[in-house]
Homo-oligomer: A and B are copies of this chain.
Amino acid sequence: MKIFNDLADFANDEINALLQLANRLDRHPEPEALRGKVLSLLFMSPSLRTLASFQAAMIRLGGGSFVISPEMSIHGLETRPGIVMDGAAAEHIREAVPVIASYGDAIGIRAFAERKSLAADMAETDFFAMTDLIDTPWINMESAMNHPCQNLADWKTLDDLQVPANGGKFVLSWAYHSKALPLAVPASTLYMAARRGMDVTVLRPDGFALPDAIMDKARQAAAANGGSVLESTDRVEAMQGAHIIYAKSWSSTAAYGDKLGDLALRNELEHWCVDEPWFGNAREDCRFMHCLPVRRGVVVSEPVLDGPRSVVIHEARNRMLAQMAVLYQMLGAGA
């Protein structure tokens, strides 16, 4: 494997192989697999789980990693192309990215969406400007529209919980948050659930529909794998018979990059906080998923988050296992 950027780049049997490998490495550690191998980790955006789980993954496989973030350079990293660098930043990503990559056998990069232009974010303009500079294998650690490590971990979690692929009902629900957050998790989670063949409903208020291209990609994946994709603004309808509610706040797409417009739309949506009454017509064992970090009492109520429905810690641990599988295939003996 040279690039891990999007589940859509992999065939079903490749995804299954990754999931099985993640399970195997959990049960049967291979602390010699990546002896002397180095993973470069570049975080243009903040991180806790990704930061910790990639480092842990490399150690468990016998290798190691190093972490670079912009503040480690002198006055940060410049990202704008074609600029005369007479401002604060002393280094440009055009040097920093290939240099950092050159020290590793592979590199992971995280860079959140700029959220000025939906078209630019959908095209992953900024992210590919960085990955185009790299000769080594690379991993998307969350870009404007993708978070494939989260997606693989969540797929594994659904398997671990024995949630049916075909026939399993997955509700991806918008949730309240005071800020406009990126689309990477909802967009790529929708694809993951559809690709797994589930019956997916995107539950969201008006103004927060996911972009057409995202919906279309998911619909095609669902169609090819025995699933379906619906949209709804009606919580009761959406939750009917659900196996899973996957909550996430995201930016308004109707007012993308427009702070005040987004605020006007999210204003008075504070009741979009997942709480026990939401589960009234769901399956009794309906689970609550979230990629974390999550705001308690804002996105989800404490009783739900601390109760038996929540599998968020399980999901987070699966990040490490999923990434171990990716790294093993990317850097291991069979790579």
Contact = CB atoms under 8 A, between A and B. Distances in A.
Interface string A66-99: 1010001110001000111110001110111011
A56 B38 contact: yes
B72 A47 contact: yes
B82 A48 contact: no
Interface stretch (A187-195, A217-225, A287-295): A287-295
A178 B75 CA distance: 14
Contact of A31 (B35, B51, B56, B98): B35
A316 B49 CA distance: 30
A20 interface: no
Given A98-B313, A293-B95, A68 B51 contact: yes
A326 to B, nearest CB: 16
A29 interface: yes
A296 interface: yes
A100 B316 CA distance: 9
Interface in A250-303: 292-298, 302
A2 interface: no
Q: How many copies does the complex hold?
A: 3
A320 interface: yes
A204 to B, nearest CB: 21
B46 A313 contact: no
A61 interface: yes
Interface string A32-43: 100111101000
B56 A66 contact: yes
Nearest to A100: B52
A16 interface: no
Interface string A314-327: 00110010000000
A115 interface: no
Nearest to A85: B295
A38 B91 CA distance: 30
Nearest to A33: B36
A99 B297 contact: no
A56 B103 contact: yes
Given A48-B73, A56-B104, A94-B306, A85 B297 contact: yes
A64 B59 contact: yes
A212 to B, nearest CB: 29
A53 interface: yes
Contacts of A316: 95, 99, 102
24 contacts: A31-B36, A31-B37, A36-B61, A36-B62, A38-B60, A40-B52, A46-B74, A48-B68, A48-B73, A51-B72, A52-B66, A55-B64, A56-B104, A58-B64, A59-B66, A74-B293, A85-B297, A86-B298, A91-B292, A94-B296, A95-B293, A99-B292, A102-B317, A103-B317
Question: 4 tightest A-B contacts by CB?
Answer: A31-B36, A91-B293, A84-B297, A59-B64
